[in-house]
Structure 1
Amino acid sequence: MTSPALSLYRLANIMARLRHPEQGCPWDLAQDFDTIAPYTIEEAYEVAEAIAARDMAELKKELGDLLFQVVFHSRMAEEAGHFALADVVASLCEKMERRHPHIFGDGTRAADAGAQKAEWERIKAEERAAAGAPERPVSALDGVARALPALMRAEKLQARAARVGFEWHDVAGVRAKLDEELAEFDAAETDAHRAEEMGDVLFVIANLARRHGIDPEAALRAGNAKFERRFRAMEALAGPAFATLPLERQEEYWQQVKAAERR
Structure 2
Amino acid sequence: MSETPAGSRLLDLVAVMDRLRSPGGCPWDAQQTHVSLLKYLVEESYEVVDAVENGTREELRDELGDLLLQVVFHARVAQESTDEPFDIDDVAAAIVSKLERRHPHVFAGEAVAEDLQAGWDAIKATEKARESVLDGIPSSLPALARADKVLGRLQRNGLDETVPDEGGDEESFGRELLDLVRRAHASGVDPEAALRTATRRLETAARAAERAPASR
Normalised TM-score (structure 1): 0.72
Superposition pairs of residues 1-263 of structure 1, within 5 angstroms: 2-20=4-22, 22-53=23-54, 55-81=56-82, 82-111=85-114, 115-128=115-128, 131-132=129-130, 138-168=131-161, 180=165, 184-185=168-169, 194=170, 198-238=173-213
Counterpart amino acid of residue 206 in structure 1: V
Deviations 1:68-119 (A, max 9, x none): 01000000000114210000000011011111101100211235xxx22222
Q: Would the alpha carbon gap of residues 208 and 5 (structure 1) be closer, same or farther in structure 2, given more than 3 Å must change? A: closer
Structure 1 CA distance for aligned equivalents of residues 117 and 151 of structure 2: 17
Note the alpha carbon deviations across 1:53-76, whole angstroms, 9 max, x for none: 362111111111111010000000
More RCO (CA 8 Å, sep 6+): 2
Matched residues in 2 for 1:54 and 1:121: separation?
33
Name the structure with the higher helix share. Answer: 1
* In 1, Cα distance between equivalents of 2:48 and 2:109: 35
Structure possessing the higher radius of gyration over alpha carbons = 1
Paired letter, 2:191: P
Q: For residue 142 of structure 1, report the CA deviation from its aligned partner.
A: 1.2
* Structure 1 unmatched ranges of 5 or more: 133-137, 186-193, 240-248, 250-263
**Runs of at least 5 residues in structure 2 that lack an aligned partner in the other structure:** none
**TM-score w.r.t. structure 2 length?**
0.87
Considering only aligned residues, what root-mean-square deviation do their CA atoms show, in Å? Answer: 2.3
Percentage of identical aligned residues: 42
